């Protein structure tokens, strides 16, 4: 399959980025080192180019109706300028994708989906659209760039570029505003790092100028470009799921800990089956664990009991730069899911002791 390219690829190469295939795109995985980039975001401010993400516009009188049908969360609770985290359940008990829903107005919404699932999500949502009129769907993914400016100094770094008071923006809200001299830019107080910050949606033709403006405004705060390597360690320290690792088409969203965005106050795709699963009780759960023994858990390593019997597998794992220990997530039978439960990670032929902990690994 031919790789897609983000518009600022040349800029990333000039900044020394190592470019690797990811989710069908050639993406910057790191510029310096994963550790330095991770610490930059935790302690100051960094900028990620995540323009590989997908964006769909749904507009019209039936837009909310379709969103309510395909999304497990209750989008009727949204208001203009509010963002909601949700997922698209499939009809087999798994998850098509997780996503963000932006209410631009009562008649217009933006859905932000994972890069690897753009075509799949588009086709799925269209397949569920049985409204004959009152709905228009527009895939703006190829024309949209997305920059995530993350870290405790993000608001200060970006403030010179907009009149919106960034420090006053509530978590999971957004403004459509002038930014870096361009009109109608979406500035969103969201993120995937747990370090605070903003996501900036711009048209491709504005992307280079906006990137350069952010880098210049952030200079006094030590802003650095950050790659996907640090993005992964940052999200894992927060216990955030990564689609394809911790949740997918075959995994129950309730087992994945997504019950908090599963609203049975309205019907949605496969809601009846999920409600029955909740009523019957879950057989396994996604848990976070920290290694007590030295070592690094990796995806697909076996999780075992004290006798070495396989009870699950690691879905995401790394060496936490903040905690200086191995951390991971994985599915285990519910009897092993309580914080304090003992697990063992099989690394080659060794069993490394681990303990289930309450997420997030790193508390803000």
Which structural domains are found in the chain, ordered by start?
1-240+248-280 (3.30.1360.120), 283-363 (2.40.30.110)
Note the pLDDT of residue 176: 98
Are the CB atoms for 164 and 187 separated by under 8 Å?
yes
Q: Which sign, positive or negative, has the C-alpha torsion 245, 247, 251, 255?
A: positive
Would you state the structure tokens that stand for residue 94, as one six-digit string? 């798994």
pLDDT confidence tier of residue 204, bands split at 50, 70 and 90: very high
Q: Which CA distances in Å does 83 have to 23, 78, 101, 141, 190? A: 24, 7, 6, 18, 8
Residue 56 has pLDDT above 80, yes or no: yes
pLDDT confidence tier of residue 359, bands split at 50, 70 and 90: very high
Residue 324 has pLDDT above 80, yes or no: yes
Q: How many CB atoms lie within 10 A of CB 142?
A: 12
Distance CA 319, CA 295 (A): 8
pLDDT digits (tens, 9 = 90+) for 65-113: 999 999 999 999 999 999 999 999 999 999 999 999 999 999 999 999 9
Helix (H) or strand (E) run with residue 277 in it: helix 271-280
What 3-state DSSP class applies to 355? strand
Is 199 labelled as part of a ligand binding site?
yes
pLDDT digits (tens, 9 = 90+) for 135-157: 999 999 999 999 999 999 999 99
pLDDT confidence tier of residue 305, bands split at 50, 70 and 90: very high
pLDDT digits (tens, 9 = 90+) for 228-259: 999 999 999 999 999 999 999 999 999 999 99
pLDDT confidence tier of residue 185, bands split at 50, 70 and 90: very high
Longest dimension (CA), the chain: 63
What's the chain's average pLDDT? 97
Alpha carbon distance, N-terminus to C-terminus of the chain = 41
Note the pLDDT of residue 22: 97
Q: How far is CA 218 from the centre of its chain?
A: 24
Are the CB atoms for 273 and 318 separated by under 8 Å?
no
Distance CA 189, CA 182 (A): 19
Q: Which CA distances in Å does 62 have to 17, 58, 100, 134, 210? A: 43, 9, 19, 5, 34
Phi, psi of 226 (to 5 degrees): -125, 140
Note the pLDDT of residue 220: 98
Please report, rounded to a whole number, the percentage of residues in the chain having pLDDT higher than 90.
98
* DSSP per residue, 227-247: -HHHHHHHHHHTT---BTTTB
Are the CB atoms for 314 and 290 separated by under 8 Å?
no
Residue 364 has pLDDT above 90, yes or no: no
Are the CB atoms for 236 and 193 separated by under 8 Å?
no
Strands 46-49 and 284-291, bridge-based pairing: unpaired
What pTM was computed for the model? Answer: 0.97
Distance CA 298, CA 307 (A): 21
Distance CA 323, CA 236 (A): 12
Residue 264 has pLDDT above 90, yes or no: yes
Note the pLDDT of residue 257: 98
Note the pLDDT of residue 152: 98
């Amino acid at each position: 399959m031919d790789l897609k390219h983000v518009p600022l690829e040349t800029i990333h190469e000039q900044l020394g980025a190592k470019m690797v295939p990811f989710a069908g795109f050639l993406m910057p995985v790191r510029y310096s080192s994963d550790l330095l980039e991770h610490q930059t975001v935790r302690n100051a401010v960094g900028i990620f180019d995540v323009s590989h993400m997908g964006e769909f516009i749904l507009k019209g009188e039936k837009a909310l109706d379709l969103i309510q049908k395909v999304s497990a969360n209750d989008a009727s609770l949204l208001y203009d300028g509010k963002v909601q985290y949700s997922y698209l359940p499939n009809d087999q008990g798994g998850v098509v994708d997780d996503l963000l829903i932006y209410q631009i107005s009562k008649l217009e919404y933006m859905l932000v989906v994972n890069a690897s699932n753009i075509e799949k999500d588009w086709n799925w949502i269209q397949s569920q659209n049985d409204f004959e009129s009152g709905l228009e769907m527009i895939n703006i993914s190829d024309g949209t760039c997305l920059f995530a400016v993350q870290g405790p100094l993000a608001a200060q770094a970006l403030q010179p570029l907009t009149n919106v008071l960034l420090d006053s923006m509530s978590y999971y809200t957004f403004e459509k505003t002038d930014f870096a001299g361009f009109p109608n830019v979406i500035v969103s107080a969201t993120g995937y790092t747990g370090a605070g910050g903003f996501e900036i949606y711009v048209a491709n033709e504005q992307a280079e100028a906006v990137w350069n403006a952010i880098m210049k405004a952030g200079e006094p705060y030590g802003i650095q470009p950050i790659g996907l390597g640090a993005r992964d360690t940052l999200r894992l320290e927060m216990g955030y799921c990564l689609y394809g690792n911790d949740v997918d088409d075959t995994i129950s969203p309730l087992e994945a800990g997504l019950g908090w965005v599963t609203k049975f106050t309205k019907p949605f795709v496969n809601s009846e089956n999920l409600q029955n699963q909740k009523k019957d009780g879950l057989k396994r759960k996604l848990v976070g664990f920290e290694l007590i023994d030295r070592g690094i858990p990796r995806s697909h390593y076996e999780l075992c009991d004290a006798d070495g019997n396989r009870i699950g597998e690691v879905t995401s794992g790394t060496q936490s730069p903040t905690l200086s220990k191995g951390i991971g997530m994985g599915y285990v039978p519910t009897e092993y899911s309580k914080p304090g439960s003992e697990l063992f990670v099989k690394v080659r032929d060794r069993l490394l002791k681990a303990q289930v902990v309450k997420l997030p690994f790193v508390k803000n």
